Amino acid sequence: MHGCIFSFTRQAEMKGLGHAILTGRTLTGMEPFGVVLADDLCLQDDNSQANVLEQMVKVFNQFRCSIVAVMEVPEDEIHKYGVIKGEELKDGLYKVSDMVEKPNKEDAPSNLAIIGRYILTPDIFGIIEKTPPGKGGEIQLTDALLQQAKDGCVIAYKFKGNRYDCGSVEGFVEATNYVYENLYLKGKA
């Protein structure tokens, strides 16, 4: 890709998403940065004018704080996700007041699940450093974001587009079929 420089860092121990992000600190410095969890494939649909990160950059430019992508999920799937509670500021934009990593459906604060797209402000690193291990004994980004929300502001954004869970066999097959039928056969991929 022209105009891009790729660097990488390695998480040597399996200590969770928060810890993984901390290993990127030397790459991003004091800039806000995007996080893309590759097992969540997000694609533009016919109604979305921009891809999910473009949409989120617009929201970031308005609020200048960390932004998380969310979508509504059925009750019996909520335990797979970080889940937010928030005050709806306007259509699809929520000021986060609570966040729970992979709750039981009884404890979930809403049906709005975090999808693997984030824009984070660099103060998150200092917060992650102080975040104790949470769900599953791992250092959870969700816990650090809740702290950031309490200290200032985190916005959840219900993005426009399709999302596929490529971390499951069904999701991976569904994504492959979608890309084949809607992009590849139409000469767009």
- Contact footprint for ligand G1P (CB under 6 A): 17, 37, 40, 81-82, 101, 113-116, 141-142
For ligand G1P, the closer of residues 115 and 124 by Cβ is 115
Q: Determine the 3-state secondary structure of 183 from DSSP.
A: helix
For ligand G1P, the closer of residues 132 and 187 by Cβ is 132
Shortest distance in whole angstroms from residue 79 CB to ligand G1P? 10
Q: Determine the 3-state secondary structure of 126 from DSSP.
A: helix
Shortest distance in whole angstroms from residue 19 CB to ligand G1P? 11
Shortest distance in whole angstroms from residue 14 CB to ligand G1P? 11
For ligand G1P, the closer of residues 75 and 181 by Cβ is 75
For ligand G1P, the closer of residues 127 and 141 by Cβ is 141
Shortest distance in whole angstroms from residue 138 CB to ligand G1P? 8
For ligand G1P, the closer of residues 65 and 108 by Cβ is 108
Contacts of 175 (CB under 8 A, 6+ apart): 41, 164, 166
For ligand G1P, the closer of residues 86 and 116 by Cβ is 116
Distance of alpha carbon 153 from alpha carbon 171, whole angstroms: 32
Cβ atoms of 1 and 78 within 8 Å: the answer is no
Shortest distance in whole angstroms from residue 102 CB to ligand G1P? 7
Shortest distance in whole angstroms from residue 3 CB to ligand G1P? 29
Residue nearest to ligand G1P (CB): 82
The identity of residue 34, as a single letter, is G
For residues 1-38, b (16+ Cβ closer than 10 Å) or e, as one string? eeeeeeeeeeeeeeebbbbbbbebbeebeeebbebebe
Q: Where are the alpha helices (DSSP H) in the chain?
A: 17-22, 25-28, 52-63, 124-129, 141-151, 169-178
